[in-house]
Structure formats: structure tokens, C-alpha cells
Amino acid sequence: MLTSDIVGKLRCTAAGSAAGIARGLDTGTTKIGPVWEGDVGDTVDFEALRQRAVHSLFEHLESMCVGAVAVDHNARIAWMDEKYKALLGVPGDPRGRPVEEVIPNSQLRRVIDSGQPQPLDIMEFDDRSFVVTRMPLFGIDGSIIGAIGFVLFDRAEYLRPLVRKYEKMQEELARTQQELAHERRAKYSFSQFLGASESIREIKRLGRRAAQMDSTVLLLGETGTGKELLAQAIHSASPRASKPFVGVNVAAIPETLLEAEFFGVAPGAYTGADRRHREGKFQLANGGTLFLDEIGDMPLPVQAKLLRVLQEREIEPLGSNKVVRVDVRIIAATSRDLHALVREKQFRADLYYRLNVVPITLPPLRDRPEDIESIADRILEQLAIQQGTPPRELLESAVQVLRDYDWPGNVRELYNTLERVVALTDAPILTAPHIRSVLPGMQHPAGASVLPLAAGARPLQEVLHAAERHAIAAALEEANGVKARAAKLLGISRASLYERMVTLGLGATQ
């Protein structure tokens, strides 16, 4: 019988396979000797046991399977069991024929060539899918003399629960990736870039033009002037709009991690902790826009690498010797004086020229006071939406205070200022004292804040009364003493104002 021929002459290897077990018994034989005296005095012929094990295992496996085939070192069929012949509908004796003639998708030739088993695979045959396992066969001298294949199931159906689990994981992965891609989409467009001053109109014009050009843009300007907002608007108006917008703040990343962050890490680049492959920002932004914020803070060695990427348009992930082509539009931004940095040799001149293709300088808020009111109104609108309250109004005198302030933090500071005012008062109309109370160096003439929040621990009643007194005084000042108007500013009725003034000892009489 061919079965015994094969197992008699060949050693079949694969972890956990029949041959693996047979080898285990082998080791036993050499260690303990062919004959072993058991406790009860019976004698066991170890070699005979091994032979038996190999036989029965093979037979067992064969009976469990729905088909089995063995090929010689030329991948010619040496034996095929009746079940397999019936399954495939093979007429006559297939022995001696190249395996692919009978089983077109057989991989046994590859197993012979590589010497590697294929423990689990799905093989197509006509319109059917078989679950198969394949192993190389070794001769006594260790050379490959053939291969053996088992069909574990004649329908991949049996793997359905496993496949379903796998598909579910794939779906989840796809969903997460989609969400991430959505996150990476730019959130702002030119319509959200506020300001009607001549300088802002010019900037929007330049930005729209840059959006169509695909060249590198360099955004200059103080912090909070809207560089990131403009970068997103440019991306959103560009042909890359449907692709990712990925931002990296160079200043926020430790120098030692910058390279990995930019270019990614190949699997196994580091021993230990992170052996997985990690994509760099360049790859994440592929097809889209990469926003390099605070580029002036980039360390010189990384500048050299970035320059190379900008020239070659390819990156080399850390620990890999392969280069990857990337297609990204770069928008760089800095609040620092890049030109001065170049002079001081803190910034590479060649990189500066590479980045400085379309420079756009955003003016500070103090240079365009005419924009303040519209931006402030929009911010108050946004805050109201966030808090689910009606938007607060700004009294003209309050707008004047905003215009007079010099805004070192620009629009960002304006946003924070208004957010603070709104948090500190419920008044629907914001007055000059309200604004002054939160602006540094603009507090109440007495030096104390209108809202005595920083006054240390005091009874709550006292703090509230002090705050009310200040608020009412400010409203009266604003309203030139006209109580009806002051009441409106405070968002209370005139009667309540009278009542509060009496309670607080502000000298009102009924």
C-alpha cells in the first residue's frame, strides 16, 4: 500500500504534524534506547511503537481529511487517495502527471521549492473552495523528495466563523481609518476666515491663488493671527481637498522623536518596545497637504532631512533602507523671523528658499482694528451656540476698548478674552468695564478687578454682593446714570435694579 510506502521511506515535517510527533518519539528512542522496561515489568519495543504511531497518525489524518495527495520532487503525482479523486472527478490513475494538470491551483510545487509547509490555505477548484494544508517531505538524508497535501474541508464554509470574525475586524479597521481620514480633513475654509480690512482681503486673494498652484506656501505672522486657519482654507480650496490635511507642530515634538514622527518607523527598527510599523506624517498626508507649524523651531539635522524630502519627494522611514515616494503639498508656518534665523545660521538658507515659494504674511490684529468688531461678533455667536444661550451684544464703547488694546496674542487672545467675559457675567450686553475687567493692565481704576474673583477666600454672600455692586456701578456709568438703560445692560428689570441698589446700599430710593 502506498500509504505505508510513503511513511516508511519519508519523514514528513511540520510543527504539530504527525511527523513532528514521530520525531518526538525518535528523540525518546535515542535517549532511552530502543527497549524500555516499564514499572509493571512489561517490555515496550520503542521503534515498533514509533512505526505504529507514524502509520496510525497518517491513517488518522487521511481518514479525517476529504482528500490527500503526495507528489515527488518534480511535483509529479505519486499517489492520490480515492476520496480526492472522487472529489475532483479525476478519471483513471493520475500517477506520474504534473500535479497542476490535475489540480490547477496546487501549491505543492512551491512547497517543494521553498521547503516551507503551508499549514492552512484556501484553494480554489472550479467554483469550489477547499481548505488545505501542505507539507514538504524529507528523505533520510534531509533532502526534499516531495510534498504532501491534505484537503481538510471540501468547503471553506467550515471556516465561516473564523472568516466572519476576520471580516468584522477588517470592517472595524476600515471604519476607524475612515473616521481618522475624516478627522484629518481640513475643518476650515475661506468663508470662515473673517475680516474685511484691505490686508485681509489681499491675504485671502493670495491664499485662493496659492490653493490652485500646488506649490509650497510659507505663512508668516505673529501667534494667533490665523496661520493654521489659512493653511486649512488653502487646502480646502485646492484640488487636494478630498485628501488628508495633516498638521505637525514642530515645536511641540521632542527633538529625538521628530524624525520618527515625520518619516515613520519600519518594523523592527528598534529592539524592544515598538517593533511595529508606524507611518510618518508624510505618509499620512500622502495625496493631501502637510502643514508644518512652527517650522522655525526645527532642529538643524532635521532641516537637512526635510530639505532632501522636498527635493526628492521621497522619504526613508527610520530603520528601513527602502525609500517611499510621497506626494504632499507643504504649507509651512512660523511666528519667528525666519530671515533673521537664516542670518544667525539657525535655519538653513537652502531650506528657507525651498519653503519661501509663496510667502504670505498675516498682519497682527492691532494693525487692522477695523476687523475687530466682526471677528468679536462671530466669536460671541460661536460661544452662544456652544453654551446654548442667546448671543451677547457688544456695546460700542466695549468695541472701542477692544480696538484700543494691542492684542499680543491676536485673534486667539481675542477669543480667550471674550470667552472669559462671557463666563464671568450673565449680562446680555457687554460693556467697556466688562471687557476691561479681563484685559491685563486695563483693570478698574481702583486697581481691583470689577469681578473680585482673585480676592482670596471670603464669604460667598460678600463676594456676590461686591460683584453685583461693581456690575451695577459699571452699568450706571455706561448708561450715564439712566437707570432704565442700566437695567437693560444688566439684563434685569428696572424694578429689580432699584431693589438691588437698595439692598446693596447704592443710594437708590424708591
Q: What is the DSSP letter of 278?
A: B
Q: How far apart are CA 479 and CA 487, in angstroms?
A: 9
Q: Does 288 bind ligand ADP (CB under 6 A)?
A: no
Q: Are 433 and 474 in contact (CB under 8 A)?
A: yes
Amino acid at 52: R
Identify which of residues 51 and 223 has a Cβ nearer to ligand ADP in the complex.
223
Residue with cell 472701542: 400
Nearer to Mg ion, 292 or 472 (CB): 292
Q: Which long-range contacts (CB under 8 A, 24 or more apart) does 82-85 make?
A: 84/151
The rounded distance, in Å, linking the Cα atoms of 124 and 107 is 11
229 in contact with ligand ADP (CB under 6 A): yes
Query: Given the DSSP bridges, would you call strands 118-125 and 77-80 parallel, antiparallel or unpaired?
Result: unpaired
- The answer to whether residue 334 forms part of the interface with ligand ADP (CB under 6 A) is no
When the beta carbons of 154 and 228 are compared against Mg ion, the nearer one is 228
**Cα–Cα distance measured from residue 48 to residue 25, given in angstroms and rounded to the nearest whole number:** 11
Q: Tell the burial category of 33 from Cβ atoms under 10 Å away from its Cβ (0-12, 13-18, 19+).
A: exposed
- Closest contact distance (angstroms) between CB of 228 and Mg ion is 5
133 contacts which partner out of Mg ion, ligand ADP, none, CB within 5 to 8 A by kind?
none
The option from ligand ADP, Mg ion, none interacting with 450 (CB < 5 to 8 A, set by class) reads none
| Residue 402 lies near ligand ADP (rule: CB under 6 A) | no
The sign one gets for the Cα dihedral 368, 372, 373, 374 is positive
Q: Which residues pair with 71 in a beta bridge?
A: 77, 147
| Residue of 243, 245, 242, 249 whose CA lies nearest to 230 | 245
| C-alpha cell recorded at residue 484 | 432704565
Task: Name the closest residue to Mg ion (Cβ).
Answer: 228
Q: Which does 136 bind (CB under 5 to 8 A by kind): Mg ion, ligand ADP, none?
A: none
**Which span (29-37, 151-159, 226-234, 502-510) binds ligand ADP, by CB under 6 A?**
226-234
370-389 residues in contact with ligand ADP (CB under 6 A) are 375
Question: Which stretch, 218-226, 262-270, 383-391, 423-431, contacts ligand ADP (CB under 6 A)?
Answer: 218-226
Q: Is 417 in the site for ligand ADP (CB under 6 A)?
A: no
Name 153's bridge partners: 131
CB of 257 within 8 A of CB of 246? no
Helix intervals (H) in 1-67: 2-9, 18-32, 46-64
- Of 57, 70, 103, 411, the one binding ligand ADP (CB under 6 A) is 411
155-194 residues near ligand ADP, rule: CB under 6 A: 193-194
Of 134, 204, 227, 235, which one interacts with ligand ADP (CB under 6 A)?
227
- Among Mg ion, ligand ADP, none, what does residue 356 contact (CB within 5–8 Å per kind)? none
| Residue 194: contacted member of ligand ADP, Mg ion, none (CB under 5 to 8 Å, by partner type) | ligand ADP
375: exposed, middle or buried (C-beta count within 10 Å: 0-12, 13-18, 19+)?
A: buried
Per the CB < 8 A criterion, the answer to whether 497 and 483 are in contact is: yes
Based on CB atoms, which residue is closest to ligand ADP, 364 or 433?
364
Asked whether position 195 contacts ligand ADP by CB under 6 A, the answer is yes
Q: How near is the Cβ of 335 to ligand ADP at its closest, in Å?
A: 7
List the single partner that 195 binds among Mg ion, ligand ADP, none, CB under 5 to 8 Å by kind.
Answer: ligand ADP
Exposure string over 402-425, b if 16+ CB within 10 A, otherwise e: bbebebebbbebbbebbbbbbebb
Q: How far apart are CA 144 and CA 147, in angstroms?
A: 8
Tell me which of ligand ADP, Mg ion, none is bound by residue 224, counting a contact when its beta carbon lies within the kind-specific cut-off of 5 to 8 angstroms. ligand ADP
Total of chain residues touching ligand ADP, rule CB under 6 A: 15
Residue among 117, 146, 226, 363 that touches ligand ADP (CB under 6 A) = 226
Smallest gap from residue 227 Cβ to Mg ion (A): 5
Residue nearest to ligand ADP (CB): 226
- 58, 3 in Cβ contact below 8 A? yes
223 binds ligand ADP, rule: CB under 6 A: yes
- Centre a 10 Å sphere on the Cβ of residue 509 and count the other Cβ atoms it contains: 6
Q: Are 242 and 218 in contact (CB under 8 A)?
A: no
Whole-number minimum distance, CB 296 to ligand ADP, in Å?
Answer: 13
Q: For residues 154 and 228, which CB has a smaller minimum distance to ligand ADP in the complex? A: 228
Out of 224, 280, 296, 452, the residue judged to bind ligand ADP by CB under 6 A: 224
- Judged by beta carbon distances under 5 to 8 A according to partner kind, the member of Mg ion, ligand ADP, none in contact with residue 226 is ligand ADP
What is the number of other CB atoms lying within 10 angstroms of the CB of residue 444? Answer: 16
CB of 366 to ligand ADP, least distance (A): 13
Binding site for Mg ion (CB under 5 A): 228
Among 17, 106, 107, 225, binds ligand ADP (CB under 6 A): 225
Q: With the CA atoms of 119, 120, 125 and 127 taken in that order, what torsion angle do they form, in degrees rounded to the nearest 10? A: 180
**Minimal distance in Å, beta carbon 379 to ligand ADP?**
8
Give the bridge partners for 391, in sequence order: none
Residues that bind ligand ADP (CB under 6 A): 193-195, 221, 223-229, 375, 411-412, 415
